Structure 1
Amino acid sequence: MKICIVSDAWKPQVNGVAITLANLIAAGEKLGVEFAVIGPDRFPTIAAPTYPEIRLALAGPGAVGERIRAERPDHIHIATEGPLGVAAAYWCPRNGEIFTTSYHTRFPEYVEARWPIPAAWSYAALKKFHSGGAGLMVATQTLSDELFARGFPRPMLWPRGVDENLFSPRAGLPVELASLPRPFFLYCGRLAPEKNIEAFLSLDLPGSKIVVGDGPSRAELEAKFPQAAFVGVKSRGELAPYYSAADVFVFPSRTDTFGNVMLEALACGAPVAAYPVTGPIDVITDPKIGVLDADLRAACLAALKLSRADCRAHALRYTWPESAKIFLDNVVRARADALSRKASA
């Protein structure tokens, strides 16, 4: 089988969607599946509003469809709702192509955090977009239930994985942390308004707050919270020592659909503190590996008492080979259901 993935998030971007797709492809190829990615790297691009480091493709349905047709895929999966995803979702049904979609990002909440656009308007547009597909893949059961309640049809569970070799406990401290007082409370991810990082940095906690990552909010956050240690962006291969050094990994987001970084931190032995919202409630399913509380400070302090060995063991339940197998099973089932609906129409 050959699957063509259309995604507005792809290399050289470093974000949850791009990382998820790269791991899906690596694991899926070992199962005998061929993949082709149609991403922004194939077209002229412009900078995304408020995210200049993210490039948006300038391409219409005809140009995207031409590249899909050239790949001769057995199936098309549209990973994002950006310009490429919209173009592909328009082209596919007009050319007799069955496709699936996935929901990686709480786009309505992200938009509402930046501009005066009600989330309800964005959800209406997204429901129309995803309704054209044969199946909508989501990372957690909680999100699946939520989207189904909003009228999104055919949600399918597609859990994520973690690279247990890349993310494993490491000895020693990164040089930037060597002189900081313990305990270490660590955040890793994009520094942007929707990540709710200020909720973490505002907490009265002992020891040190450490921030790994970059983004449009970095300058503002550094100015407002000079006591926190901002260590900048780290490559995937550089992250494990920071996760391993953390006494608690803090995940303050209320809008992420999953949160791959939680699995990465757990795989390195760091317990998690987070709010009891979609994402964390589906990952932190055992009180031995994290604390979920509306009081984030209380969660951080309680997480200090948890076992690092239990955290690692829990993370190892999530593997990319299993994630890829579920994705492929979803594709087969979605195509069969779509053909059945077409035959009975």
Structure 2
Amino acid sequence: MMFPSQNCAEGLRGALRSLVRPVAVVTAAHAGRNHAMAATAFCEVSMDPPSMLVCINRLNATHLAVSEGADVCLNLLAEDQREISRRCGGGVVPEERFEVGDWVLGPGGPPRLADACASILLRPGRIVDHATHAVVIGEVVDVALRDDRRPLGFHDGAYLFPLAGAALNLVAQSALLGEAGSMTDGFLMLDVMRAFYWFDEGLQSALRARGWEAVSRSQSMAFANIALGVRRPIDLARNLGITRQGVSKMLQEMVDREWIVIEPDPTDGRASVVAFSDKSQQLRADALEILSRIDQELGERLGRKTVDALRATLGRDWGPPPEISALPSAQ
């Protein structure tokens, strides 16, 4: 369904959040210091000569290095490198960004991540300043490629986790083979994912029917985490699989809508905590009432005892996630 957007910036953010995008860390070395920033705004420009572009915020220290002639390295992250993205997206101070990951550091070039999906060395040829960012167009002068790594994906403000990615691939492959119906057998994770989406779609649909502005799935999960007592932005970022920069943007949108407030952390003067605003009381009351009615409807459809047993099972302590060993090598 198409609908007009009254705010182009908000509409663009929503459109881009719907895309699944790869994640990279852009690095540069200048004046004896190494710089790193997480990025999703990059793409190829030409194959003759090979060239790419990357967009860099002009307030970022990496921009200063590039503007003064430094080469840059575009490190395409693998699915198990979310922590590197979080650190380089603002999760830690710049001096600590290279403490995680197999970084190749040395004179004569920008830092390179040895176990990335690929590391692409760019020699900037043109820099175009536009509003808050600079578009850096560079010639590709070297590529280090790993064919045994799967890329890290980003969608709707969150990372695509490896297990979720594997599940989605299973579903896609089964659909291709005409066996999608069989995916409900034997994969509890897919059943839980499907159930979550079912609940969330029902909640969002009912909220819209009552006149509330659209709530993204990430914001819905943020509400749930805050209700469970997770109040520090860095902890929200970790639970939602979002960079600190990404969660800051999402929380600011929620502040602008007067759903939450951000206050100083009473236990740590350097940190902040998130709390529900007074104006969010009606939204939360409506959400709780809707969820209660969804539970009631589900009980009528499946039987109250069945739903109660399901809740009891999901509420039990399952212990830590199992450590599944690699399959033995074929003899």
Give the TM-score category using the shorter length.
Answer: under 0.3
Q: Highest relative contact order (Cα 8 Å, sep 6+), 1 or 2?
A: 1
User: Under a length normalisation based on structure 1, what TM-score does the superposition of the two structures give?
Assistant: 0.26
Is the radius of gyration larger for structure 1 or structure 2?
2
- TM-score scaled to structure 2, two decimals? 0.26
More strand by share: 2
